Structure 1
Amino acid sequence: MTKVLIIEDDNIFGDMLSLYLTEEQYEVTRVPSAGEGLRALQEFAPNVVLLDLMLPDTEGINACAMLRGFTTIPIIVISAETKVSERILSLSEGADDYLCKPFSMQELKARIEAVLRRTNMQSAVIAPPAAPNADEWTLVLDMARRLLICNGNEIETTFSEFEIIKLLYHNPGKVFSREELINAIRGIDSYINERAIDVHITNLRKKIEQNPKEPQYIKTVWGVGYKYIKK
């Protein structure tokens, strides 16, 4: 059964979410603060998190960024804040989707199912065919654990970062426009813009490139988008 963690301090709204999702055959836990949410990540082990940004213990703190520091599972922000700047910030800080209150429960379910489809675990580990030399740069995608293994070092990524590098890695040399990357990680109905894609690419370069300012593997194709160079 799919497990959903709701981090929401509004009791009425939180109970409404819990009741609806329970009736839709999800296993649900709701907590009213970010601190309790972090504990629930360990104890409840959810498949997806629904996160309200306005929490009693996160004043002046980006709750999404804080949560993302502890988990790579999908985070859907549910917020009354409708400013574009807040949406962009949340997506840049690791959110995988953003819903503005009020929203329909049917749309929420569709968004949950969409992010879960993109987190289907696969048992295969995709690796270069030949054993590399000690001084050779290597990148392996561990699909089961959703990890990058760069030069033997395990590197955790956000959900969106992993989806981007997975698409680029499996299509070496192919140029993907920002719009194609947006559609690949969000779906055409979810909110994200090209700036958020650029932020994810920057973060990926910091994690796998020897010199992120002069990338050798995730290349910018000016005026178009990005491609992955397999060496």
Structure 2
Amino acid sequence: MASGGWESPAPSSAGAASFSGLLPKLTPAQLDKQLQDAVQFKAKGNGFYREKRIRSAIGCYHRALLVLRSLDSEVTAGIKGLGTEVPVLTPAQDELLRTTQVDCYNNLAACLLQKQSVDYARVKEYSLCVLQRRPGDAKALYRAGVATLELGDAHTAKQYLTQACRGQPNDANVRKHLLKVEEKLKTELQKEKAMCRGMFSSSPRGEESKAAVTSDESLTSQPSKPHDTTS
């Protein structure tokens, strides 16, 4: 569980049933109020982040996501026909929901990278949530690249970081991690080459050694000629 005591996994229809019975019919004004509550939670989290109060920031972002989850059509669609009113958002409201959601996931990834013990799997998960909505988001690409590199996949990390570098060519952190990826890939390639050389060179040496042993054994196994003696 992330610091702050809240978890907000990516929306899924499986989790939608948990909202049945919790979604009374909302008026347009009530929908707006809930959306603004989420926006305020996000803004409060931003303030905590600037103050380096990472735990509090994480809690606010999770609270914002929890509010938005109850209004998200991708979540609530799974409970239609169960006698529960499903919120219907206007295009403007839906856009605000998506924007706030993505910002919260992006900010959560940034928060987790500030922790002493980083959950890189969670950083990657949140960053990919952002990239689903904003494929070219440079910050999300950078964080996905950092997390993927730390999780051991340098090839995929290079793809994320290369795209991030295109969006932020002067960002020192992006360039630093891209260099780190290149060094890791170079090291991996050198290890592969060394392994291949070992595989191909070990066989001839073994055969030569075996042949030499066989030759020595054949010489020592031959009976010696008896010396001439006088009667």
Higher alpha-carbon Rg: 2
Q: Shorter chain as normaliser: what TM range?
A: under 0.3
Q: TM-score, normalised by structure 1?
A: 0.20
TM-score, normalising length from structure 2? 0.20
Higher helix share: 2
In terms of fraction of residues, the more strand-rich structure is 1
